[in-house]
Amino acid sequence: MLAETRFEPDVTVRTKDYRIGAVGAGMIMAECHLAAYKEAGFPVVAIASRTRANAQKVADRWGIPKVHDTPEALIEDSGIDIVDLAYPPDQQPALIRHALKQKHIKGILAQKPLALSLEEAIKLRDEAKAAGKILSVNQNMRYDQSMRVLKQIMGSGALGDIVFAQIDMHAIPHWQGFLQDYDRLTLSNMSVHHLDVLRFLFGDPDEITTLTRKDPRTTFDHSDGITVSTLRFPSGVLALSLEDVWSGPRQEGYKDDQHIDWRVEGTKGTAKGTIGWPTGAASTLSYASTTATGGEWVTPTWETMWFPHAFVGVMEQLQHAIASGEAPALSVADNVRTMQLVEAGYRSIDEGRTVKLSEISIN
């Protein structure tokens, strides 16, 4: 049997010496990034947001010594090594470009989606390479504990050749206010987690077919609400990614059952589990293997959660890339491939057909 002690649900922090400047003071920064960094011992030396008062509140909460009036002023602060962005995708590219011009900036952590279009993402990839700076994108679901352990189990051969996989989401996201100005909704802002983690697990797919209908709860205009995507991979893996952002009524007295489940089936075994969001619990995993567990179900456990602990791994991989000279695990070049997949999904919706990834150039 594969010993559970061999699993590593969370990363080992190898590097934590680089000074971080936080841009943004909303939920994702205040509740996830900064909570994770405090626990890991990453030095956050400054913060800025669109409103100085909001940045000051977050600085007081987390003991951040310096508050800048604007994101641009923070980026220009020579006491900062890494710019950590938590900003809307229409404004993020300009801040990335400003950071690329600063000699003292060694790395940039951007949010997803990196930009509002694949074309803009490709430009940012190329501009970062020309500037010789590391641009990394916060695909944090790769650091969810169940996804990391699943990847390790698959790598051990315990499941054999993978046949089928699915991510089954019935949960209601909090759509941030800035999304009301964009036409694209679920694929870009929710499905991107799942599509990216399927790439993490199985590599780049050959093709995608996506269907959608509008979400009755979302009052602002949007092209994609509930989405269902099927992906076919060169290995033969068939995968399903379902984002049911309706998930049933949400009103007083109605006991909803919001959840995200996942399942991976192979020739020698099966793994299944849950993602802790939106219930505020740890993600889970159980697996059975004809070779590694004698056919019995085994359930590794951990104390950490996707939010906020995955953000330790996201920032750690960037710091280690700066220190080692190695490519970051979450490189901008890899993220462009995730955006290519999202773009293919939208083309599938628009044209009512299966779209091959080879149709969409990222060169």
Mean pLDDT of the chain: 96
Cα(318)–Cα(258) distance, integer angstroms:
33
pLDDT of residue 87: 94
The answer to whether residue 260 scores a pLDDT higher than 90 is yes
For residues 313-341, average pLDDT: 98
To the nearest 10 degrees (0 to 180), the angle between helices 145-156 and 192-202 is: 20
- H/E/C letters for each residue in the chain? CCCHHHCCCCCCCCCCCCCEEEECCCHHHHHHHHHHHHHHCCCEEEEECCCHHHHHHHHHHHCCCEECCCHHHHHCCCCCCEEEECCCCCCHHHHHHHHHCCCCCCEEEECCCCCCCHHHHHHHHHHHHHHCCEEEECCHHHHCHHHHHHHHHHHHCCCCCEEEEEEEEECCCCCCHHHHHCCCCHHHHHHHHHHHHHHHHHCCCCEEEEEEECCCCCCCCCCCCEEEEEEECCCCCEEEEEEECCCCCCCCCCCCCCEEEEEEEECCEEEEEECCCCCCCCCEEEEEECCCCCCCEECCCCCCCHHHHHHHHHHHHHHHHHHHCCCCCCEHHHHHHHHHHHHHHHHHHHHCCCEEHHHCCCC
Domain chopping of the chain, boundaries: 12-139, 141-311+339-357
Cβ–Cβ < 8 Å for 301, 295: no
Proportion of the chain above pLDDT 90, given as a percent: 96
Query: Would you give the end-to-end CA distance of the chain in angstroms?
Result: 45
b/e for 174-193, b at 16 or more Cβ within 10 A?
Answer: ebeeebeebebbbbbbbbbb
Do domains 12-139 and 141-311+339-357 share one topology? The answer is no
pLDDT of residue 3: 45
Cα(110)–Cα(84) distance, integer angstroms:
7
Name the superfamily (CATH) of residues 141-311+339-357. Answer: Dihydrodipicolinate Reductase; domain 2 (3.30.360.10)
Query: What tokens were used for 311?
Result: 């953000």
Phi, then psi, of 97 in degrees rounded to 5: -65, -35
Q: Could you tell me the fold of the domain covering 12-139?
A: Rossmann fold (3.40.50)
Listed range (73-77, 273-277, 278-282, 336-340) with the worst mean pLDDT:
278-282
Model confidence band, residue 266 (pLDDT cutoffs 50, 70, 90): very high
The answer to whether residue 29 scores a pLDDT higher than 80 is yes
The answer to whether residue 5 scores a pLDDT higher than 80 is no
User: What separation in angstroms does the CA of 132 have from each of 19, 94, 126, 185, 266?
Assistant: 19, 18, 10, 33, 41
pLDDT of residue 6: 84
For residues 320-335, average pLDDT: 98
Proportion of the chain above pLDDT 70, given as a percent: 99
pLDDT in tens, 81-135: 999 999 999 999 999 999 999 999 999 999 999 999 999 999 999 999 999 999 9
